Structure 1
């Protein structure tokens, strides 16, 4: 994928882009992550047009990240406008999934669907995670967000990416996640939605996804057996298969447009 820079109201925002068939997939990364964390998933979706923004405060995205998801969502909307995208599906992992929900609440006509990966309508962050991030990064987390089967070499590769995110930016992400609560609002999101979760997810356990699927009028749930919280990195092919099925079955345009 190609790294590009968009000039937005708050300054330069970097994103990864690949041309392909629509609808355009906007992939939103999780707390303390970067766009590159979602490259395995993008690679498992060949032929799709994909945009993966780097949140502010990391990579080449200038400035500090906003301290609430509504403001972060407004910036994603501005990016969509600047890029001239007309038919999109917003997908997010963890905090990125919460951001996708926030964008869903904007009721934008060009948002045709949501794909929510390992997330919830409310996110509560264990204090030990906040302290671990403050202490210097993912190696200090009290437990691994990955399933036991995920290779150590791959964990280290993604940990290196996380360590490239400034502590201040990662702390902002986790603080925003801890404050997120849209449990009473999500029933108003009436677009097709696919909710995906791993059966071994300890950070956003399956009950979070079950709640989403039960409250959103057009949502359906997919459980990936044995997977942990880091679904896009652990099981990108399985996640991509669910996404492709959703795009084909729920969002196919009978006119071929």
Structure 2
């Protein structure tokens, strides 16, 4: 069973938070979802971690401000920097002590980078593992939507103008009535070669819950972020970087640059898959997350340190 609660942030926005697993678990996993999605993106991974039995961690999933069941955000709060602050508040409330594993899909991965940038000391002390899924540390540098460069540039210009208009439209969701008409475009943009209808249905429902302001206002911050230098300073945190071969939003170049910046990262490119890996290829994402969790448990970390110490002495 999950525990559903609300977290009131300093600026008055309320976050919808769900927690699974024992409060005294030796490890906590916090999962951050992507732009225009919500916590349900991670449903398969939450289920997989619960199958670990006595070894299962505590798992925290939450709806980002302006998404899902969380409260609306003002224009000033619709930035990645604010999302990094929100993640810090989630950790203070729901995982105040002990090691944590952070997982982020798309904008959720960028949120983790902002948290690392703003709180390097806390990050170094607390974070024992990372999972980056279909994300980027370089804004829209590599985003071509799977199109020729000139057409992609025109599309990005139109998207930027449209985002500005949506940002000023308030916390309304009139696009929910248009979801059937938008379905083919969302399927093309977010999914790869094979698309499970149930996965697409959920992605569309999540999209329907995002307000017009959230759809538009986060766009400038997402497009401008540059955090490769932050990643390079994270040290020897075990990390896995996943990307779909057919990802049109955060293509493989985004994942490669993240993996190259992180000292201890493994890069995995999922053949034929698109941007929505947690729903599109849930077994791949769950396996990667489970492996990171098992490496990050205190007992496993102690074994790794002993082995590393023995190897250094032998050298």
- Normalising by structure 1, we get a TM-score of 0.88
Q: Which aligned pairs between 1:217-232 and structure 2 lie closer than 5 A?
A: 217-232=263-278
Q: Does structure 2 conserve the Cα–Cα contact (< 8 Å) formed by 1:24 and 1:85?
A: no
**Structure 1: 5+ residue stretches without partners:** none
Give, in angstroms, the shift of residue 83 of structure 1. Answer: 2.2
What is the aligned partner in structure 2 of residue 110 from structure 1? 126
More helix by share: 2
What is the aligned partner in structure 2 of residue 51 from structure 1? 60
What is the aligned partner in structure 2 of residue 19 from structure 1? 21
- Tell me the secondary structure at the aligned position of residue 194 of structure 1: strand
| Higher alpha-carbon Rg | 2
Structure 1 stretches of 4+ moved >6 Å: none
Q: Does structure 1 conserve the Cα–Cα contact (< 8 Å) formed by 2:193 and 2:272?
A: no
Q: Distance in 2 between matches of 1:164 and 1:7?
A: 20
What is the aligned partner in structure 2 of residue 198 from structure 1? 244
Per-residue CA deviation, residues 64-118 of structure 1 (Å, 9 max, x unaligned), is 1623222221121112112243221111000111111222232212122221111
Q: Does 1:36 align with 2:52?
A: no
Q: Which aligned pairs between 1:57-68 and structure 2 lie closer than 5 A?
A: 57-64=66-73, 66-68=77-79
More strand by share: 1
When the two structures are aligned, how many residues end up with a matched partner? 256
- Tell me the secondary structure at the aligned position of residue 40 of structure 1: helix
Judged with a 3 Å threshold, the aligned counterparts in structure 2 of structure 1 residues 222 and 142 are, in CA distance, closer, same or farther, namely closer
TM-align CA RMSD: 2.6
**Structure 2: 5+ residue stretches without partners:** 51-55, 144-155, 167-173, 303-315
Q: Distance in 2 between matches of 1:33 and 1:127?
A: 23
Q: Does structure 1 conserve the Cα–Cα contact (< 8 Å) formed by 2:48 and 2:286?
A: yes
Q: Does 1:123 align with 2:139?
A: yes
- Normalising by structure 2, we get a TM-score of 0.73
Per-residue CA deviation, residues 206-256 of structure 1 (Å, 9 max, x unaligned), is 11111111111122212222221100111112111112122223x242379
Q: Which aligned pairs between 1:126-205 and structure 2 lie closer than 5 A?
A: 126-129=156-159, 131=162, 134=166, 136=175, 139=183, 140-141=185-186, 143-190=188-235, 191-205=237-251
